[in-house]
Amino acid sequence: MNYLSLPKIDLHCHLDGSVRPQTIIDLAAEQSVTIPSQDINEISSLMIAPETCNNLEEYLLRFDLPLSVMQTEAGIERISFEVFEDAAKENVKYFEVRFGPQLHQQQGLSFDQIIGSVVKGMQRAEAMYDIKGNYILSILRTFPKDNIRDVIDAGAAYLNKGVVAFDLAGAELPGFCSEFIPYVDYAIEKGYRITIHAGEQGVGQNVFDAVSLLHAERVGHGIHITGHQGAYDLVKQENIGLETCPSSNIQTKAVNKLSEHPAKAFYKDKLPITINTDNRTVSNTTMTDEVRKVMEEFDLSREDYFNIYRISIEQAFASDEVKQHLLTFAE
């Protein structure tokens, strides 16, 4: 099977976890930011999370270096363009990228400047390549909550013009959902779609809460519904998209090895699973690699692949017009 040429959809990818190592070096020089090395191999190894990470928290330490050069409009625009360019070159036809606007204010950019820059970079790539995209705004669960409404307000100006959804990311504690109810309600009122990282590191109850309390239409990872019948049944009944990210799940120890990943059992039981990268650089992967790993490990056929491709279209926060376009690539 030629995995590179398959049409692909990635619904779960973090911008700051997907920066090209060379771009870190270039932007650090341009912006006079001090970085630990000028050597591309050393920068790469500092960005890639090792297989020996103990948990999600250790994995999340890999984001500080890329974020150090993502504090100017030009830097953010370039990185956004490049992630879409990289994806387009491996036949990703539709790409939802997420990032945390709160992480890009170290040099005083406004949320409008930050969100405007990612959208501009994406649109530059859309004009050059056969790829369509949208942005998801991720709020960091561990950050102070006082500016969440400001992020939602700033993003609202770009809704359906490059921004489509709201997400909660970062370390996952049991029971995190309840304290975010008013913010998610506000985002829904403004017109955002909702996806929530849940059941990755944390318990299956978090997935149940994300759907029942936060109205999540999709969940990031959702692995731990395996241990929670209520969450499993709710995901199935409500057709909640599971954004599966196989390589990342192994690095964060959400699963021990790919053969133990529940995604295959979910697929067989007709849960709506999708295949995604999570972080192209931190997880040292591409959509081509993730698709190859899943198809080989789970022994999926080409027909299975296109079933999953269609599930991704159904679950995408894209316009009907874009969905029609994506269907033209389906077999």
Ligand X SMILES: O=c1[nH]cnc2c1ncn2[C@@H]1O[C@H](CO)[C@@H](O)[C@H]1O
Q: How many CA atoms lie within 13 A of 217 on its CB side?
A: 13
User: How far is residue 68's CA from residue 107's CA, in Å, rounded to a whole number?
Assistant: 10
Using rule CB under 6 A, residue 62 touches ligand X:
no
Residue 146 annotated as lining a ligand binding site: no
User: How far is residue 115's CA from residue 324's CA, in Å, rounded to a whole number?
Assistant: 27
Query: Which CB atom, from 220 or from 246, has the smaller least distance to Zn ion?
Result: 220
- Shortest separation between residue 303's beta carbon and ligand X, angstroms: 30
Closest alpha carbon to 227 in 248, 249, 252, 254: 254
Residue 278 annotated as lining a ligand binding site: yes
User: How far is residue 142's CA from residue 171's CA, in Å, rounded to a whole number?
Assistant: 7
Of 14, 20, 218, 280, the one binding ligand X (CB under 6 A) is: 14
Q: Which residue has the tokens 């050597």?
A: 39
- Assess whether 296 carries a catalytic annotation: no
Query: Which CB atom, from 56 or from 131, has the smaller least distance to Zn ion?
Result: 56
Query: Which CB atom, from 79 or from 313, has the smaller least distance to ligand X?
Result: 79
- Shortest separation between residue 45's beta carbon and ligand X, angstroms: 18
Q: What is the DSSP string of 282-300?
A: TTT--HHHHHHHHHHHTT-
Query: Which CB atom, from 90 or from 278, has the smaller least distance to ligand X?
Result: 278
Radius of gyration of the chain (CA): 18
User: How far is residue 265's CA from residue 250's CA, in Å, rounded to a whole number?
Assistant: 17
Using rule CB under 6 A, residue 99 touches ligand X:
yes
Using rule CB under 6 A, residue 279 touches ligand X:
yes
Using rule CB under 6 A, residue 248 touches ligand X:
yes
Among candidate residues 200, 296, 297, 303, the one labeled active-site is 200
Q: Which stretch binds ligand X (CB under 6 A): 12-20, 41-49, 107-115, 309-317?
A: 12-20
User: How far is residue 79's CA from residue 84's CA, in Å, rounded to a whole number?
Assistant: 9
DSSP H helices in 168-243: 181-190, 204-212, 229-238
Task: State which of positions 151-180 bind ligand X (CB under 6 A).
Answer: 169-170
Mask: binding to ligand X, 16-55, rule CB under 6 A, as x and -?
xx--------------------------------------
Using rule CB under 6 A, residue 200 touches ligand X:
yes
User: How far is residue 125's CA from residue 185's CA, in Å, rounded to a whole number?
Assistant: 32
92-99: strand order across its sheet? 8-14, 92-99, 132-140, 163-169, 193-198, 218-221, 241-244, 273-275
- Shortest separation between residue 9's beta carbon and ligand X, angstroms: 18
Q: Which residues are annotated as a binding site for substrate?
A: 14, 16, 170
Task: Kindly list the residues in this chain that would bind Zn ion in the complex (CB under 5 A).
Answer: 220, 278
Q: Which residues are annotated as a binding site for Zn(2+)?
A: 12, 14, 197, 278
Task: Kindly list the residues in this chain that would bind ligand X in the complex (CB under 6 A).
Answer: 14, 16-17, 56, 60, 63, 98-100, 103, 138, 169-170, 197, 200, 248, 278-279
Catalytic residues: 200
